[in-house]
């Protein structure tokens, strides 16, 4: 029993000391993310890959996306993917700091995805939708 506990603690220690986290298609260091119903916030010392957030669109019209980036290096890119898996909208790679917004026309209700791609980025972002 004591040996199993020791091995378990050693494994936990090794994992906690890892310089980067790899899961799905993301590589990150010092990764902190908060997902809410209409908001996605993240901070990181390194982010490369993609994260997704499903959002339910209940009526036709426009979806307003507002994002703020504060990057020390690298770039971030935001996309909106429709119910068929096609990109409806794509931001340019965000390499500067500041706030931007866009209104994306929505023609059918359903579950859409917001994708955030990191390109060897360091910093943080905040993305909201209405």
CATH class of 21-129: mainly beta
Sorted by where each begins, the domain ranges of the chain are 21-129
Please give the model's pTM, rounded to 2 decimal places.
Answer: 0.76
Spatial CA neighbour of 24 closest among 62, 50, 53: 50
pLDDT digits (tens, 9 = 90+) for 29-85: 888 888 888 898 999 999 999 988 899 998 889 999 999 999 999 999 999 999 999
pLDDT digits (tens, 9 = 90+) for 84-118: 999 999 987 777 788 999 999 999 999 999 999 99
Q: CB–CB of 62/104 below 8 Å?
A: yes
What phi and psi, each to the nearest 5 degrees, are found at residue 107? -105, -10
């Amino acid at each position: 029993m004591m040996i199993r506990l020791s091995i378990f603690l050693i494994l936990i220690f090794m994992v906690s000391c890892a310089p980067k986290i790899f899961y799905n298609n993301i590589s990150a260091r010092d990764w902190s993310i908060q997902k809410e119903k209409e908001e996605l916030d993240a901070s990181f010392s390194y982010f490369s890959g993609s994260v997704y957030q499903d959002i339910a669109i209940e009526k036709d019209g426009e979806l307003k996306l507002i994002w703020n980036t504060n990057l020390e290096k690298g770039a971030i890119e935001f996309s909106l993917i429709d119910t068929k898996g096609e990109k409806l909208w794509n931001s340019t790679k965000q390499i500067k700091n500041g706030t931007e917004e866009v209104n994306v026309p929505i023609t059918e209700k359903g579950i859409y995805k917001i994708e955030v791609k990191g390109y060897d980025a360091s910093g943080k972002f905040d993305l909201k939708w209405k």
